Structure 1
Amino acid sequence: MLLAVLFSHTEGNILVERFHGVPTEERLHWRSFLVKLGADNLKGAKNEELFVASHKSVYIVYTVLGDACIYVVGKDEYDELALAEVLLVIISSMKDVCVKPPTEHRFLNKYGRICLCLDDCLEGVTGELRER
């Protein structure tokens, strides 16, 4: 199950998030946990360098792209390999939408298109993985 996709600015501001099957009362915990995880590990990371973590039987794959940190969280069949595939699809679509590595300004200017592409990616990827 794909639990969450979250984009944040490198300084910790949440840019966009999608939660699936995560109770509302747990979302704040996940937001703060993911932003702290990125703050601790993504300083000096190269664009598109993938990082993997696990927490409470879930997997987290995350990276930095320009000024945006991208986190993908899943469990069960969405292990670190499946999440890496999801993240690569998201990265590719963000590069297409933003043309250049996203800054916070560029990300916010293209916010509607980014949300649309993200929703399409997640729908396509989760359907593809369910078929396997």
Structure 2
Amino acid sequence: MKNNYVQILYFRNSFQGVPGEDRQHWRSFLVKLGADNLKGARSEELFVALQKSVYIVYAMLGDVSIYVVGKDEYDELTLSEVIYVIMSCVKDVCGKTPTERLFLDKYGKICLCLDEIVWKGMLENTDKNRIRRLTKLRPPTEV
């Protein structure tokens, strides 16, 4: 049986310069946005919103809601590319479309992938093969 509440499984707190009370507002806004629009949505169907000159691209991936937020040069087209990479990496790590349980089981590896895609609020990588190589977790080789 599905829960009737939203649980935040991963939240990257990269609101540089945004006061704490505004951060809570954004979290609440995203939860409400998803609750209003993602019911009955197909997996990987993208939705776009604009709030206070901030672009939001979001989608369902199995049981997991994914939101990507940006402004200025990170417009809805850039964010769409980023969310597709995120969804692809999550599916690769999980081996299939994730359930909440599977997402939590693979949580560490998913976090590594997300760190390779976005670092300190800046887009770093969108090449799935490069991200896969960077997250292999192999010990350094001796020189």
* Bin for the TM-score computed over the shorter chain: 0.7 to 0.9
Structure 2 unmatched runs, 5+: 127-143
2:5 aligned with 1:17: no
Correspondence for 2:134: none
2:93 aligned with 1:97: yes
- Which string of whole-angstrom CA distances, capped at 9 and with x for unpartnered residues, describes residues 48-106 of structure 1? 10000000110000000000000000000011001001101101100111112111111
Indicate the structure whose relative CO is greater, using CA pairs within 8 Å and at least 6 residues apart. 1
2:59 aligned with 1:58: no
| Whole-Å separation in 2 of the counterparts to 1:51 and 1:29 | 20
Correspondence for 1:111: 107
Correspondence for 1:49: 45
CA contact (8 A) 1:10 1:39 kept: no
Q: Return the structure number with greater helix share.
A: 1
Structure 1 unmatched runs, 5+: 1-8
Q: Normalising by structure 1, what TM-score?
A: 0.83
Identity %: 64
Instruction: Give 1:25 shift.
Output: 2.9
2:123 aligned with 1:126: yes
CA contact (8 A) 2:116 2:125 kept: no
Q: Considering only CA atoms, is the larger Rg found in Structure 1 or Structure 2?
A: 2
Q: Return the structure number with greater strand share.
A: 1
Alignment length (residue pairs):
120
CA separation of 1:118 and 1:128: change in aligned 2, threshold 3 A? closer
